[in-house]
Amino acid sequence: MDKTLLQRHLDYMARYKGHRQPLVTPCCQFDLVVSAPTDAGNQWDSLVECPNCGELFMKIVTSTEARGLLLQGAAHAKETHHVLP
């Protein structure tokens, strides 16, 4: 039985023991928790597929925030982010 992308993400995060950040996807406003670096100077970025709707977006994660940037062209880019207090 093939698992959905969302189920694979949830399974991974259930096993992941490291630092985490909340992320609201810029495509469908879906709440996720993603892996994050622990060092303040590190930034992880990657092109990802939304596990909820399948849209591609750029994920940018630091030790204090996670942001998503929807790739619709520079003039129509839409960004979401969440910063920990």
Q: What is the pLDDT of residue 3?
A: 82
Q: What is the pLDDT of residue 83?
A: 60
Report residue 75: phi and psi, to 5°.
Answer: -75, -20
Q: What is the pLDDT of residue 52?
A: 92
Q: What is the pLDDT of residue 34?
A: 93
Q: What is the pLDDT of residue 71?
A: 80
CB-based contact 20:31 (threshold 8 Å): no
Helix (H) or strand (E) holding 15: helix 5-15
Instruction: Per residue of the chain (85 residues), give pLDDT as tens.
Output: 468 988 998 898 899 889 999 999 999 999 999 999 999 889 999 999 999 999 999 999 999 999 999 887 644 555 555 565 5
CB-based contact 13:7 (threshold 8 Å): no
